[in-house]
Amino acid sequence: MSLARTLCRAAAGVAAPQVTIETHLANGLPGISIVGLPEKAVQESRDRVRCALQNSGFEVPKRRITIHLAPADLPKQGSRFDLAIAIGILVASGQLPQPVSEELELYGELALSGELRPITGILPAALAAQTAGHSLALHPDNLPEAGLTEDLTLYPVPHLLNLSAHLRGRTPITPATRLSATPVVQDLPDLADVRGQAHAKRVLEIAAVGQHNLLLIGPPGTGKSMLAHRLPGLLPEMTRTEALETAAIASVAGYPPDPARWRQRPFRAPHHTCSGVALVGGGGHPKPGEISLAHHGVLFLDELPEYDNRVLDVLREPMENGTITIARAARSATYPARFQVIAAMNPCRDGYYGDGSERCQCTPDQVRQYQNRISGPLRDRIDLQIQVPAPRHEELFGETPTGESSAVVRQRVQAARERQQQRQGHSNALLTGNKLEAHCRLQQADQHLLASAVDQLGLSARAYHRILRVARSIADLAASDVIQCAHLTEAISYRQLDRTGH
Ligand SMILES: Nc1ncnc2c1ncn2[C@@H]1O[C@H](COP(=O)(O)OP(=O)(O)OP(=O)(O)O)[C@@H](O)[C@H]1O
Ligand SMILES: [Mg+2]
């Protein structure tokens, strides 16, 4: 046979389109040429494969070898095709007797010795292979990640020779056994560590219930960052589907998911000096950014006014529609980015404005300037905005127990989330249009109340809807089908930045 076909998959965002590697041997000047939009690392695979074959005792045929990566119009990058190319050459040159099964996909970079190396982004490929009913040959280090799929045969291949012996039927490789039911590690910071701050804890709970964005404003050292780090501990575990989506993004970004923690919601805290690309994603081959790594989880923006305004502005679109498309000259990629924002800031540059002491030297103008660094549209997208004042001395140093643990609060959050799931199939933060009107209906008197609050605070239509969603979450927490007046007034009270008028 002088023609062989092997299978692999390319990486296109979180998708993994099938690639067929066709290898053809012909008479002519000896050499290897790769066609089908291969990028640099794929081109270099010629040299790696040649050395790996020689060092494993195979012969590199002294013929004209053409390798076509089909479909031709799909760009291919990275070193993941090495193994499939090497096996293709072996089959085409008759050094492996049979054609390779149409159901086996081959993944791996080859070392010059013929050893295999793991690749990044195996999970999207494994998920797609599972859907296609295929099996996978891959480096043992890629097993934990590929093993997150439920029903997929995985052949660990440490060396090219192992796979060739397997394909010859001499030494079959035993498929990897799955790490079943890995224990979930619960090592998240606990809410009980935070003393006092009952009000802030209540709001944190509401944010967890409806997946609402939350802004904490207060003087230094009152526990804002502490509280933010405790949000993931209040959130229910991700469902399997959610966790697979999030893990696939991490995999593409080069962070193999940890099977012991992969159901925990991500918590990403990019520093305020981070660039727009780091935050939303980008690069020549667009990689996911922090907002996509936070998919189904939390994005923590500490010291919010310190972020570059242009960087914050790029958040506006994904905050609204839950995806981000990164368009570059050569190609574009769309990544999911459905995240919950928790942000913290001081009320002014000194940090102590409005705390009742004389410490703040800022003029009202300076305070306004500082707070205005957060643009109106971004503010509008933050449902809950509250002050976190310094805890009282006796709260901080008293002997009294500190309050509920995260586990207790999480149970309430879970129950309220189930109500939302049953009613509308998603969290309250995502309610729009007809659904918003249907599920957040107010009683007559309450409609007037909200209308006058909107007038007084000068709120936008978006802020109006956000109040309704928060009120819905408060009602869900109280297991109430209707939004009552108390729920509504509480929701209105959480638009702190609007109320200070800055
Ligand atoms: N309410 C609290 N209960 C227990 N410890 C607290 C509390 N508030 C602050 N602390 C202690 O103070 C430290 C600083 O808290 P944290 O970093 O959360 O403050 P912050 O409000 O984020 O301040 P900054 O505005 O300076 O960022 C914590 O690590 C903790 O030890
Ligand atoms: Mg802080």
The CATH number covering residue 318 comes to 3.40.50.300
Degrees, nearest 5: CA angle 476-480-482: 105
Q: Which residue has the higher pLDDT, 283 or 277?
A: 277
Locate the ligand 1 atom nearest the alpha carbon of residue 402 and give its number.
3
Distance of CA 386 to the CA centre of its chain: 27
Give residue 502's pLDDT.
42
- Cα 216 to ligand 1 centroid, rounded to whole Å: 12
Q: Which ligand is nearest to the CA of 391?
A: 1
Q: For residues 153 and 427, what is the distance between their CA atoms, to the nearest angstrom? A: 36
In a domain, 173, yes or no: no
Our count of domains for the chain comes to 2
Contact 1, 91 (CB under 8 A): yes
Degrees, nearest 5: CA angle 91-94-96: 55
DSSP state of 233: G
| pLDDT tens digit sequence for 164-220 | 999 998 899 999 876 655 556 568 899 998 888 999 999 999 999 999 999 999 999
Is the domain of 141 the same as that of 243? no
In a domain, 176, yes or no: no
Q: Which of 245-259, 347-361, 399-413 has the highest mean pLDDT?
A: 245-259
Q: Which ligand is nearest to the CA of 216?
A: 1
Locate the ligand 1 atom nearest the alpha carbon of residue 219 and give its number.
25
In a domain, 182, yes or no: no
Is the domain of 325 the same as that of 386? yes
Give residue 327's pLDDT.
80
User: For the domain that residue 22 is a member of, what is the CATH number?
Assistant: 3.30.230.10
Mark the residues whose beta carbon lies below 5 A from ion ligand 2. 225
Best residue among 193, 216, 222, 387 to mutate for probing ligand 1, ranked by most atoms within 8 Å of CB:
222
Backbone angles phi, psi at 17, to 5 degrees: -65, 145
Give residue 480's pLDDT.
93
In order of 218, 312, 316, 372, 500, the CA distances from 305 in angstroms are 13, 9, 15, 8, 17
Residues having CB closer than 6 A to ligand 1 are 194-197, 218, 220-226, 344, 346, 391
Q: For residues 138 and 122, what is the distance between their CA atoms, to the nearest angstrom? A: 9
Is the domain of 261 the same as that of 150? no
Domain span at residue 252 reads: 191-500
- Owner of token pair 């959130």: 235
Q: Which of 152-156, 386-390, 454-458 has the highest mean pLDDT?
A: 152-156
In a domain, 284, yes or no: yes
Q: For residues 496 and 354, what is the distance between their CA atoms, to the nearest angstrom? A: 13
Give residue 499's pLDDT.
52
Q: For residues 40 and 222, what is the distance between their CA atoms, to the nearest angstrom? A: 52
Q: For residues 476 and 407, what is the distance between their CA atoms, to the nearest angstrom? A: 19
- Dmax (CA) of the chain: 89
pTM attached to this predicted model = 0.89
Is the domain of 400 the same as that of 472? yes
Give residue 344's pLDDT.
95
DSSP state of 398: -
Is the domain of 221 the same as that of 148? no
pLDDT at 387 over 80: yes
In a domain, 177, yes or no: no
Dihedral sign from CA coordinates of 355, 356, 361, 365: positive
pLDDT at 481 over 60: yes
Give residue 500's pLDDT.
47
Candidate from 384-393, 416-425, 464-473 with smallest mean pLDDT = 384-393
